Amino acid sequence: MRPGLVRFILALLVVISHFSSFFMLGKYAVCGFFILSGYWISLMYDKKYSLKENKITVFYISRLWRIFPMFYFFSIVGVIVTLQFYPDFPSIIMSLDFWPKLSAFSSNLFILGNAFPKHRILGPSWSLEVEILFYLLFPFVALLIKKNKLNVILLTILFFCITVFIILNYKTQFEYNGLPYIFLFLFGVLAYNYKLIFPKKLEVFSAAVFILILLFNYTLSSLHHALMEDGAYFNFITLLLVIFSIPTLINSVYIKTTPKDKILGDLSFIVYLCHWVWIEAYYVLILDHPSSIVKFGYAVAIFIITAITSYLAYIYLDRPIEKKRHAWVNSRKNIIAKT
């Protein structure tokens, strides 16, 4: 699959998982995004940012420029929609104790501080905080890569062990702590720097194991119950799915993209943020409608609204903003090679 299509499918998995508690692949999809982010950030830093004077400053400004405009846009839309269905939301925020209130303002204004998730306007913003954490660490990682790639291999192993430790010792979903996800970014970094390509047979085998894991956990009631009720088991299965999808994710980056595929890739970020704006409305609408047919009808309507809103936001906001961001980066002064 082409890289843009892969990212778009991951975004759709997140959307679907938020519509159904039965379908729990949202966390897996986000982890897949993190791996691909590590790869693409490494490529862009190597080919673009590292050639600029004040490269770290240019890198930070460019990456935050990519995230915050659309985050603020959908946050504003989210506030408008939330107030229609939860008019008491502002008074609830103001009645919080100091630290939860601070977290609510910080997470909604600056993305940072997602320890109290129910007070976020945009639910998926927790992953943007993890992404920003990786951006902050990346210049240091790039320096380690330049000195010795083995350093980053060891760092990846260290953070992988931290992830396993958290899974084994904490019984809740590791959602709001950036530590368990760092090894995913680092693996993407290593994949770029080692030009990692998996053999086709290994990719097919890994995909087959991935499907088997899904089949067992979604057809056997005991396993599916554990998946839904046991946070540690959920995290373990998510980690397995991530590991066995790595060959497919990494190999996709070497497939040549097309203009349409690039649009799908760009839309993945917009859809990821946009769908949450309407999710709140969906859950309010289905409260008094236990019928599955009615729920399905509302879900289809929300899907259509999400698709239309995402496309309009992409055409009239995201694409013009991205053109300005790329133009700004390209206008930054390049390092003059010594002769």
pLDDT tens-place string over residues 3-32: 999 999 999 999 999 888 788 899 999 999
Residue 21: inside a domain = yes
pLDDT score for 284:
84
Q: Quote the mean pLDDT of the chain.
A: 90
Report the pLDDT averaged over residues 180-195.
95
Q: Which domain holds residue 263?
A: 3-330
Q: How many residues are recorded in the chain? A: 339
Residue 149: inside a domain = yes
Checking if the pLDDT of 141 tops 90, the result is yes
pLDDT score for 173:
47
Residue 337: inside a domain = no
Residue 335: inside a domain = no
Q: How many CB atoms are located within 10 Å of the residue 170 CB?
A: 14
pLDDT score for 295:
85
Residue 339: inside a domain = no
pLDDT score for 114:
63
Q: Which residues of 173-211 are buried (b: 16+ CB within 10 A; e: fewer)?
A: ebbeebebbbbbbbbbbbbbbeebebeeeebeebeeebe
Residue 261: inside a domain = yes
Checking if the pLDDT of 182 tops 90, the result is yes
**Cα distance from N-terminal residue to C-terminal residue, the chain:** 44
Total number of domains constituting the chain = 1
pLDDT score for 177:
67
Q: Which two tokens stand for residue 215?
A: 């089949």
Residue 256: inside a domain = yes
